[in-house]
Amino acid sequence: MKTTKLKKQVVLKGGMILDPINETLKKGDVLIENGRMKSIGEVTPSKSADVIDCSGLIVTHGFCDIHVHFREPGREDKETLDSGSMAALAGGFTRVCVMPNTDPPLDSPESIRYTIDRGEECPIHIHPIGAITKSQDGKELTEMGAMLSEGAVAFSDDGLPVTDTGMMRNALEYATMFDVPIINHAEDLCLKKDGVMHEGKISTQLGLPASPGITESNMVHRDLELTELTGARLHVPHVSSAKSADYIRQMKKSNNKITAEVTPHHLFFTDEDLITYNTDLKVAPPIRTQADQKALIKGVKDGTFDCIATDHAPHTIEEKEGTFDLAPFGMIGLESCFGAVNRVLVKENKLNIIRLIQMLSVNPRKIMGFETDLFTNGNPAELTIFDPNKKWTFKKSDIYSRSHNSPYIGEALIGRIRATIVKGHITALV
């Protein structure tokens, strides 16, 4: 992977331009001048222009992941904003939202400011999500107003569910003043107990403590009802169970303030893949059955889910190489995202590629209130270039994260990122 500064004039020549807003996919060139979009169509490059051959490739909006963990500050041994940025670039992501479960957590205007300032130094756009409650302990609301002024884009106690229904109501009520999304990691901890995977045939065979699908869907249902009550915006992260998808689908019919995301790993794997106790597949909420997987794919196709988010969660090899009960929850996912979801959704389940790109670019930007019209002339170039048909095997050497906890290593993926353009630079993957 190599990052270079964009020349004064850059022409992306002969690719297919995928416009996720106007829903078109047609051959054309892109002219970038001084790092900004200049024109799209047929471009005759000037002599000094840097011409990049994009034949056979798709050029589209830079991907946006609204759910990543970059561990800074506090666990820089797992990831930093810099190393996380490299993982993002490798996955075609130009913009991410980082979750606040750092050490200390992002629960104050000062910590939001720190992340914004550090993000400025990084090669991608980084937006902090603030904590809902101080220390993420579910007891006292954070200073949401001041945190928004410093650059927070949403609020979540991610990793830790807001278990107290009264507190969740307060958070939603309070957030209505600012019209920002509240994101709640939905797992009923009383039902989850020490569960480390989905409760089913496989957990019984493995002798592991497990939790059923309603551990999630009960709390999703509660949050949806609270959204009805308060009129707040709710974004449901990493939906894992069929029943949660049903509740969201139902409630979205009458409430346009609800959005939801699904992760690549809940679409790609099932609990049967855990049969070897692979700790890289230990995530929260857990990977569930084939029936749940099918329901999630259906949810993508019928619009129940607005976006794909990776929940990129780096952990050290020492932590993940322990026994299954002791290993922390989470897997990295930025580098493997496109090849995984393109394989499952587009190649195996006939989703239109334009729909997939919408779920990776314009839809997540809408949820967070970011600029979506990236092809407009004069806007800073924020583009992803990929080969939609490339078959490849994901390897450890494809990882740019500081951590390597990926269950995709050795998996066959389809579709590969070739280059990512953002902040006046182009990062090319060889």
Q: With binding defined as CB under 8 A, does residue 205 bind another protein?
A: yes
Does 324 engage in binding with another protein (CB under 8 A)? yes
Catalytic annotation present for 158: no
Residue spans of beta strands (DSSP E) within 9-92: 9-19, 24-33, 36-41, 50-53, 58-61, 63-68
Number of residues that bind another protein (CB under 8 A): 17
Residues 6+ apart with CB under 8 A from 348: none
Q: What is the amino acid identity at position 147?
A: M
Q: Is 377 among the residues that bind another protein (CB under 8 A)? A: no
Task: Give CA angle at 58 (55, 61), nearest 5°.
Answer: 140
Residue 139 Cβ, how far from another protein at the closest point, in Å? 25
Report, in Å, the least distance between residue 4 CB and another protein.
41
Q: Residues 188, 306, 311, 387: which is the catalytic one? A: 311
**Does residue 152 belong to the site contacting another protein (CB under 8 A)?**
no
Between 203 and 227, whose beta carbon lies closer to another protein?
203
CB of 203 to another protein, least distance (A): 7
Q: 347 and 338 in contact (C-beta within 8 Å)?
A: no
- Tell me how far apart the alpha carbons of residues 167 and 390 are, in angstroms, rounded to a whole number: 48
Residue 191 CB, shortest distance to another protein, in Å, is 11
Interaction pattern, residues 171-200, with another protein; x per rule: CB under 8 A: ----------------------------xx
Of 73 and 209, nearer to another protein (C-beta) is 209
CB 186 within 8 A of CB 225: no
Binds another protein (CB under 8 A): choice among 47, 323, 350, 378 = 323
325 binds another protein (CB under 8 A): yes
Least distance between another protein and beta carbon 326 (Å) = 7
What is the token pair recorded at 234?
Answer: 């709710």
Rounded to a whole number of angstroms, the minimum distance from the CB of residue 277 to another protein is 4
For residue 254 the two structure tokens come to 């009458």
- Taking the C-alpha atoms of residue 348 and residue 193, their distance in angstroms, rounded to an integer, is 36
Unique residue bearing structure tokens 């928004």: 148
> Is residue 108 close enough to count as binding another protein by CB under 8 A?
no
Rounded Cα distance, 88 and 409, in Å: 17
Q: Is 326 in the site for another protein (CB under 8 A)?
A: yes
CB nearer to another protein: pick between 206 and 354: 206
330 near another protein (CB under 8 A): no
Kindly state whether residue 45 participates in binding another protein, applying the rule CB under 8 A: no
Range list of H helices, 14-138 = 81-90, 109-120
Contact 116, 152 (CB under 8 A): no
**Does 203 help bind another protein (rule: CB under 8 A)?**
yes
In this structure, are residues 203 and 282 in contact, taking their beta carbons and an 8 Å threshold?
no
Give the SS3 label for residue 18.
strand
Residues 258-287 contacting another protein, CB under 8 A: 276-277
Query: Cβ–Cβ contacts within 10 Å for residue 118, how many?
Result: 18
In the DSSP assignment, the letter for residue 133 is: B
With contacts defined by CB under 8 A, name the span among 4-12, 61-69, 204-212, 351-359 that binds another protein: 204-212
Catalytic residue positions?
A: 311
**Chain residues that interact with another protein, rule: CB under 8 A:** 199-201, 203-209, 212, 276-277, 323-326
